[in-house]
Structure 1
Amino acid sequence: MNLLVDAFAWIFDPAHQAGANGIPTRLVQHLGISLLVLLVASAIAIPVGYLIGHTGKGRTLAVSLTGGFRSLPTLGLLIILALWLGVGLEAPLIALIVLAVPPILAGAYSGFEAVDRRTIDAARAVGMTEWQIVSKVEVPLGLPLLIGGLRSGTLQIIATATLADYVGAGGLGHFIFVGQKSNDYPQMLAGSLLVIALALLSEGIFALLQKLVVPRGVVANQSTDVRRPSSRRVAVVGFPTEERK
């Protein structure tokens, strides 16, 4: 308990709020790395996922590749890339993109696959082109699952971006690694708490966004659990009678 109090005291210490190693600076670095990785991973995964989901081709290969990427140890990949590319931002960016692509790709193609085929057939029957089907039917209906993939990918990025400072790229992981070297446990815990808070904030934002992007027609047609009155006879003082309506 004392360690937790010390960690919060470290966070709110004015000495840790300014300068190149201040919390705001490291937070901006962490957010910048995470946002850049999310944008690049989305630019790669979303078009490919939409193509797979719309055509139905390449799904087996995509599942195999994403499963393989997810099994890669991010720290090991980061070290290999750092030895190849050198210390800096390039190695963590590539490692984090490899980590983020699978959940976003899965969200993109599963969103299209979740659309009722009868809806797509009806769209073709009224004369919609393939591009209109994608943009006006499959994308809006599949958006909640895509946001779910982005939500999962963002959480993984924010949590794993702490490794970026391991190769000198900055971020909130700086406090964890510096604290580890100097046995400054309050600083290590403070860095962890900041990452957790940032991850929880992103989780809340994406959870809200995932609800907001559900099309109104889908919300309006969701079934509700309404029990109909039973027509069975019920016993009242030992005599059967019809249930009142």
Structure 2
Amino acid sequence: MAIFVVCPGCRTRFTVSDKFAGKSGPCPKCKTIIQIPKLEEQVVIHEPEMFSSGGRGISGQLTLKPIARMERRFTPVMILSIVGGVLVVFVATLVLGHVGVFRDNFWLQAIGLAVVTVPASAGAYEFLRNQEDLQPLRGRDLWIRAAICAGGYLLLWWGFNWLVANFVTEELWTWALVIPPVFAAGAFVGYLAFEIEFSAGLLHFAFFSLIAVILRWAAGLGWIWTLPTPATPYPVG
């Protein structure tokens, strides 16, 4: 039997196995130590039969309806639409990049990546959010937060490119000075924008980074780790 627990620190609600009854442990979200109640300490509320299905009035009609959690399920049509959209974006970027549309055009690069990042952020949230959330982000709230998240990711991506161009050399240890702080900041942006776990925010930013790297190559801008060859000041030979 599962035991219902509410964290006194962050007010997160979750259930634990009855084998942890009477023990204490850290909250998985904020790490506050929680005392798990014993089995005999649990409060069990026995609702009247008339309210088990939402409550009935004098006439016998239901006056209240139970709250049902709405889950979004990915149908084959939705999956095919997503895959098709990804292929269209990739092929279009590849064709435009082949003719040099994105080369030396910072604003076009930023707008193109932003158009892709907003729906990608919303879609990744659906996979990474806590499935126990009773009120997941939906509709306008989801798209507003996806846009905010995309804006943060684009700023980090611009900063990452600038750091690579100015600080990263052929020595591998220089990457260790750039990648960890950028990914930590990206995880924090995802965590704040969608109110998901920090680890989920890290995966969310990693998903964006993968998209950005692939589209950068498709746009004809090369791989992010391909460093430019420095020009020699004098002719050789």
TM-score for the superposition, normalised by structure 2 = 0.32
Which structure has the highest helix share of the two?
1
Which structure has more relative contact order (CA 8 Å, sep 6+)? It is 1
TM-score for the superposition, normalised by structure 1 = 0.31
